[in-house]
Copies of this chain bind each other. A is one copy, B any other.
Amino acid sequence: MVNPPEPFPDLDWSPERARALGDAALEMYEEWLRRLPDLPVDRGRNAAEVSEAVHLDVPAEGLRDEELLEYLRKLVFDYSMFPGHPGFLAYIVGGGTVPGAIADLVAAGINQNVGGWRLSPGATEIELHVVRFFAEQFGLPDEAGGMLVSGGSIANFIGLKAARDAKSGAGVRARGLNGRPQLVAYTSQEVHFATTRAADMIGIGTDNVRLIEIDDQYRMDLVALETRIDEDLTAGLRPFCIVASLGTVATGAIDPLEPIADLCARHGLWLHVDAAYGGPIVLSEDLRGLAAGVERADSIAFDPHKWLYTPQSGGCILVRDIAHLAESFSADAGYVYEDKELTGRGIDLGMLGPQLSRSFWALKVWVSLLAHGTDAYGRRIAHDVALTRYLADRIEASDRFELAAPVGLSICCFRYAPPDLPNGGGREEYLDLLNERIMAAVQMDGRVYYSNAILGERFVLRTCIVNFRTEAEHLDQVLEVTEELGAKLDAELRPTHF
């Protein structure tokens, strides 16, 4: 007779206790939603202060639920900043859908591991439906596929890894890159660093990503691109991939997708489209045309947590032919053996990407799509663009703001320029300094919140609307606050020689 150990149920909370803590958390969320427009976007605290405020020694005995809630309230209301605030217009960070947040509770509650079909039957099939929906929106063929991932950086990494493995000759996964012709990728100077970082991660090196010159619309210059490919071919290198941006991070520019696709076809290159920001325009009747050519991509990365507004974080990688993901990521392992003929089970998504255990990222995206519908999504995305045009028009009509780049999607780059500031004499350098200080002051002020871009050598202010709570009044406030703080800083900072 073998004696069993005494039960130890301490971590197994009763349904009642779970409900009580959940109720309190939900009440806090409701309160936060109600107070959100009146809270500052950010409180401008410093690191030491925040670190101390949220510090706790992990206790030997668990906190009481009231203590835990008190702590969470402090975190939420006093030590967080709010990308969902209507005045938040920075960095292409989405607002965070309400049904998406609730979906995350459901996903975490039932704790599906979407790495294996057997561990997540409904979740895996939902992810496949989500992927199919997006593949159709982008106009990809039936054999296209893909998956949700933890963010756009990983989505772009997967695209480049699949490109590397498809284009660098047999055996690269087994034997590595050494001793093969040097792979070279092409993209524009305006590309997000996710692409160069991915080139580093897959081992080809950031120097082997050619940053091609841009035209006056911040789009990749096709002549420069083709010239560079020819030079590299002549030098014995192996061009393998062009990364086109569908919505650059700084200005929202869209690279000329059709001619780039032609070039890829001519040279046998992989076309990867970084659509992290701009991808969702395919959901808008009015904007879809701007993405023409994306349907010719070999892979597309985009971020539901940006312009589909879903909570952090969740990206998506689509490939023209799902076989490419299997070829680039499949693995054998005895400890996950199964006989699918016997069980009738479906695809294991953990075998098609870099992660075996996987979150049910798809649920918040799927639930957001179902709850809001494609009409509202498409119209809101177009509305973000309309709002941005409104801001740009106001800037152009003003004598103290300058539009700094063409407005394509929902990004507006501009500068505050005091009307009495004379031309010449280091004017542009002074405006760099002044606008840099304005950005910091606006961010610390907390009524609205935006970020910046560096265009050429100029420091410019940059708003990006991927926030379904933003309306024209908040853009008016952007200009008011900028002018108020700008005039004050100008009085402090302007050199005497002006």
Q: Which of B28, B54, B372 contacts A11 (CB 8 A)?
A: B372
A217 CA / B151 CA spacing, docked (Å): 40
Given A173-B200, A383-B5, A113 contacting B93 (CB threshold 8 A): yes
User: Is the CB–CB distance between A11 and B380 below 8 Å?
Assistant: yes
Shortest beta-carbon distance, A249 to chain B, in Å? 5
Copies in the complex: 2
Q: A376: nearest residue on chain B (CB-CB)?
A: B10
Residues of B within 8 A of A249 (CB): 333, 335
Which A271-292 residues have a C-beta within 8 angstroms of B? none
In the complex, 7 of the A-B residue pairs with CB atoms within 8 angstroms, ordered by the A residue number, are A8-B468, A16-B30, A51-B129, A68-B99, A81-B121, A157-B354, A161-B201
User: Is the CB–CB distance between A176 and B390 below 8 Å?
Assistant: no
A462 CA / B335 CA spacing, docked (Å): 9
Shortest beta-carbon distance, A79 to chain B, in Å? 3
A359 CA / B367 CA spacing, docked (Å): 18
User: Is the CB–CB distance between B42 and A18 below 8 Å?
Assistant: no
Which A64-104 residues have a C-beta within 8 angstroms of B? 65, 68, 71-72, 75-76, 78-84, 90-91, 93-104
User: Is the CB–CB distance between A106 and B72 below 8 Å?
Assistant: yes
Given A2-B393, A121-B80, A339 contacting B440 (CB threshold 8 A): yes
Stretch at the interface among A223-231, A261-269, A306-314, A421-429: A306-314
Which A233-284 residues have a C-beta within 8 angstroms of B? 249-250
Q: Does A295 contact B (CB under 8 A)?
A: no
Given A109-B96, A207-B175, A459-B337, A359 contacting B150 (CB threshold 8 A): yes
Give 1 or 0 for each of A192-234: 1 = CB within 8 Å of chain B CB.
Answer: 1110110111111111100000000000000000000000000
User: Is the CB–CB distance between A129 and B54 below 8 Å?
Assistant: yes
Q: Does A170 contact B (CB under 8 A)?
A: no
Which A456-482 residues have a C-beta within 8 angstroms of B? 459, 462, 468-469, 471-473, 475-476
Given contacts A78-B122, A343-B440, 19 further A-B contacts (CB under 8 A): A4-B475, A5-B386, A13-B98, A42-B121, A46-B343, A54-B129, A62-B376, A68-B99, A76-B106, A91-B113, A95-B111, A101-B108, A101-B111, A105-B105, A113-B312, A150-B359, A174-B207, A337-B436, A342-B437
Number of interface residues of A (CB under 8 A): 202
A76 CA / B75 CA spacing, docked (Å): 30
Shortest beta-carbon distance, A483 to chain B, in Å? 16
Stretch at the interface among A19-27, A139-147, A316-324, A399-407: A19-27
Given A105-B25, A344-B46, A331 contacting B197 (CB threshold 8 A): yes
Give 1 or 0 for each of A327-359: 1 = CB within 8 Å of chain B CB.
Answer: 001011111111100111111000000111111
Q: Does A167 contact B (CB under 8 A)?
A: no
User: Is the CB–CB distance between A178 and B180 below 8 Å?
Assistant: yes
Residues of B within 8 A of A471 (CB): 4, 7-9
Q: A31: nearest residue on chain B (CB-CB)?
A: B15
Residues of B within 8 A of A27 (CB): 19
User: Is the CB–CB distance between B355 and A151 below 8 Å?
Assistant: yes
User: Is the CB–CB distance between B117 and A109 below 8 Å?
Assistant: no
Q: Which of B62, B196, B360, B390 contacts A2 (CB 8 A)?
A: B390
Shortest beta-carbon distance, A394 to chain B, in Å? 5
